[in-house]
Structure formats: C-alpha cells, structure tokens
Amino acid sequence: MKSVRVTILLFTVTVFLFGCAGMSKEQSGQGLGSVVGAILGYNLGKGHKDQGWAIGLGALYGAAIGANIGRKLDERDKELANETFQGSLENNQIGTVSSWNNPDTGHTGTTTPTRTYTADSGSPCREFTTTVLIGGEEQQGYGTACRQADGSWKIIN
C-alpha cells in the first residue's frame, strides 16, 4: 500500500510540474502516471528476477491512477501546488511545511523539505514529503528534487 501512495504522490507532483499542453487532464495524468509508475516499478524491482514485470505493472498501475487524479485536478490546483513546491524547496528550512489551498475545488496540499545535500554534479538537492487532499482522501509520498540551471527544482526520483 505504501508503494501505491508513493506512486500517486510522485505522479501528482509530476503533473503539477510537467502538465502537457493540448491534452486533457485525464490524458496528461495517464501518460505521466505510466512513466512514474514504470520508474517506481524499476526501483522497487531492483535485484529481483521479475524486475521486468515490476516495471510493466508499475506503468499500467501508474497510468490508471494518473488518469483518475488527472481528472480531479484543475489547472489552478496545479499552479498552486507547483508554486508551493518550488518555493518550499528554495526557501524553507528542513521540517518547515508549506501549504496550498484552492477554495474553488477544495483541494489542498503540502510540501516539506526533509533533507538537503549536494549532488555529484554540484547541484543542490532536497528530499521532500508531500501530501495532496482530493475529495477528502489524503495521499502522501516522498521524493528528491535538484535545482536546475534556470533555478527551478526538478524531481529526480
């Protein structure tokens, strides 16, 4: 169940950051969910003889979850979540929670930096936890993001 929550949350953050122009929310969510699911399947299946199955199932499961979440989030939710995510990683001390709230949809979320380090490339990176509350159901997860040359934070896992 924990991996499902991680998949959902990483997908949600990915959608906030990389929504696809010209696609419906459901299509965008489905595509991004499949990518995130495959990445999670790869990481969860490391060292197992059935890693290929883990990747495939992760992609399928991620696509289904992503389509469902994509249908529920509107553009303003994505903007608010992304602004909070970027600002939290750039400005907050470890353990400081930043929140967003869209009064039009009732959707809310948080981002909390949990660790800061320097990558081999020299870029600052931060581990984080994030939550999203959609329709009264909270999803939680965690990930790592590194600062890009343009100053934005990009999720690396």
Q: For 62-119, how does the pLDDT look when each residue is reduced to its tens digit (9 = 90+)?
A: 666 665 555 556 788 889 999 999 999 999 999 999 999 999 888 999 999 999 999 9
Give yes or no: residues 92 and 66 share one domain: no
Domain membership flag for residue 11: yes
Q: What is the extent of the structural domain holding 37?
A: 2-72
The one-letter code for the residue type at 51 is: Q
**Does any domain span residue 144?**
yes
Residues 68 and 91 grouped into a single domain:
no
Structural domains of the chain, count: 2
Residues 45 and 93 occupy one common structural domain? no
Q: Determine, yes or no, domain membership for 77.
A: no
- pLDDT for the residue numbered 136: 82
* Total number of residues shown for the chain: 157
Residue 28 lies in a domain: yes
Tell me whether residue 66 is in a domain: yes
Q: How far is CA 108 from CA 29, 43, 46, 120, in A?
A: 18, 29, 34, 34
Q: Which two tokens stand for residue 31?
A: 């595509």
Does residue 151 sit in the same domain as residue 88? Answer: yes
E-strand stretches of the chain: 98-101, 108-118, 124-134, 137-147, 153-155
| Residue 123 pLDDT grade (very low, low, confident, very high; cuts 50, 70, 90) | very high
Q: How far is it, in rounded angstroms, from Cα 19 to Cα 69?
A: 13
Within a domain: residue 78? no
